[in-house]
Chain A
Amino acid sequence: SCRISSDGKPAKFQPPPKPIIIDRQKQREERRFLSPEFIPPRGRTDPHKFYIERKDMIQRRKVFNIPEFYVGHILAVTTADPYANEKANRFVGICIQRGGKGLGATFVLRNVIEGQGVEIRYELYSPRVQAIEVLKLEKRLDDNLMYLRDALPEYSTFDVNMKPVSHLDHEEIPVNKLQVRMKPKPWSKRWERPKYNIKGIKFELPEKKMKEAQKWSQPWLEFDMLREYDTSKIEEKIWKEVNEELKK
């Protein structure tokens, strides 16, 4: 704009507005994801053993791509099967649990096929697994969705020929705050008890039952110092190591 303003006097110099730089590269790298099976469990084993196991895991990841996924994602897994028609077996389901550490890490996929609920446990590093595709990225409120067994079957049904939903790399993974409705009691586990700490169920039980369930709460557990296992430093070290190896 002109320096001379409308009254004729020279106006004070207004510097131009600073440009806002959105560094896509930096934003993308900021989200660090370390697969939970890399974190060694607390115990007396030699840390050297975990280092050797990690080398094998990284070697497998170089050859076969294991995508980043959490509990609540919808995955499609193709495994080699000697008894199937095409010698390959494809299963689509929601990941309800990720367990195991090191090479024996597993995840459980659940789906309801023709009215029958089916859960299959796959090993991440098994050589029979041929492809893992993430169809829908969606985190849920809990880490363990085992309560879907006692929920209404509509919450566990997913289309077998579902198209993968696109997801940009730098965006955060959306959290689905769905509250699931349950079948009438009895359930396989008493999910209302505080030990399971489930936030994703819409409990339609009477107030009296909910209060009675709180009797089993153990409020001293969160202050127990011997149970603390701070993994932040270990995670950083392992994340750096894994990333360096994978880039080679």
Chain B
Amino acid sequence: MMPIWTKSGKKHAVTLLKVQDCHVLRYISKEESGGKTSKLLVGGKNASPFFKSESAMKIFKEAGVPRKQKVATFNVTDDALIKPGTPLYAAHFRPGQFVDVTAKTIGKGFQGVMKRWGFKGQPASHGQTKTHRRPGAISTNKAAKVYRGKKMPGKMGNIYRTSFGLKVWRINTKHDIIYVNGSVPGHTNCLVKVRDSKLPTYKDCNKNPPFPTFFADGDEKLPEDLYDKEIFQFTDPSVTYA
């Protein structure tokens, strides 16, 4: 995470996400998947092809791509289909867009009810006998049962969670890095799925995005760094107020 400053002098915290060897793996049509839209399977970071069964390696062999560590599904409209085997780059996103980032949260192991659900516990003194971090009562008398989904101690973390509506401030095309506003679930160097935001406020946000994606061997030659128009670039002199 890094600080960035806007032209008005305000500071924002930003997370750096690296797009490392992403390739499109397979196209699943609407009828095949049984959903409302067709899907595209995309694979992430390269990993070793050994210690995996033949059936698992089939998808990568068909696409002609080394084995990927993470495979994610994206719901795509029919006019945005991409051929399996095309690499995806960070320039697929542009500064000023809004994205949702999904990842597995940091695993905390088996945790008690105070840390996991934020219960208040009991006082430390004034006669409490062996009860300081316990849940207390778990149901009422009339119910005569414990409801499903009752908040109790258990394994915390290591589940998929999404942060919605994060602004993209800057894209580095040379190293394939996306600078995303705020924090993102997951530990450092964990694998993350980045997707265009589906919040209703940002529905009309993307003006002329690269559609269906940014092709490296195409005609477009992008500069090394793409900045949002409000960002303070370090090549400019210091900010002054008129």
Q: Which residues of A contact B (CB under 8 A)?
A: 43-46, 48-49, 52-53, 56, 59-60, 63-64, 80-82, 87-88, 102-104, 123, 125-130
Contact = CB atoms under 8 A, between A and B. Distances in A.
A11 B98 CA distance: 93
B2 interface: yes
A104 B3 contact: yes
Interface stretch (B68-76, B110-118, B230-238): B230-238
A103 B9 contact: no
B241 A87 contact: yes
B9 A127 contact: yes
A127 B16 contact: no
| Nearest 9 Cβ contacts at the A-B interface | A59-B234, A82-B241, A127-B239, A60-B234, A128-B9, A127-B232, A87-B241, A104-B3, A130-B238
B11 A126 contact: yes
B25 interface: no
A44 B238 contact: no
A80 B240 contact: yes
Given A52-B172, A104-B2, A80 B239 contact: yes
Nearest to B241: A82
B12 to A, nearest CB: 12
Contacts of A43: 188
Contacts of A46: 18, 188-189
B177 interface: yes
Contact of B240 (A44, A87, A102): A87
Nearest to B6: A127
A44 B239 contact: no
B238 A64 contact: yes
Chain B's interface size range is 20 to 34
Given A52-B16, A123-B11, 18 more contacts: A48-B18, A59-B235, A63-B237, A64-B237, A80-B9, A80-B238, A80-B239, A80-B241, A81-B241, A87-B240, A87-B242, A104-B2, A123-B3, A126-B5, A126-B9, A127-B5, A128-B5, A129-B238
Contacts of B5: 126-128
A63 B18 CA distance: 28
Contacts of B195: none
B175 interface: yes
Given A52-B175, A128-B9, A45 B239 contact: no
B234 A63 contact: yes
A88 B242 CA distance: 10
Nearest to B233: A59
Contacts of A56: 234
Contacts of A64: 237-238
A242 to B, nearest CB: 15
B6 to A, nearest CB: 9
A113 B90 CA distance: 51
A87 B9 CA distance: 13
Contacts of A123: 3, 11
B239 A128 contact: yes
A44 B190 CA distance: 11
Given A63-B235, A81-B241, A103-B2, A45 B188 contact: yes
A44 B175 contact: no
Interface in B198-242: 232, 234-242
Contacts of A45: 188-189
A75 to B, nearest CB: 16
A191 B189 CA distance: 39
Contacts of B2: 53, 102-104
A130 B188 contact: no
Interface string B1-15: 011010001010000
A214 B151 CA distance: 48
Nearest to B14: A103
A46 B2 CA distance: 14
A123 B3 CA distance: 11
A103 B1 CA distance: 10
11 contacts: A44-B189, A52-B175, A63-B238, A80-B9, A87-B240, A123-B11, A125-B3, A127-B232, A127-B239, A128-B5, A129-B238
Contacts of A81: 241
- Chain B CB within 10 Å — which of A49, A81, A128 has the most? A128
Contacts of B189: 44-46
A12 to B, nearest CB: 68
Contact of A130 (B18, B175, B240): B240
A4 B11 CA distance: 83
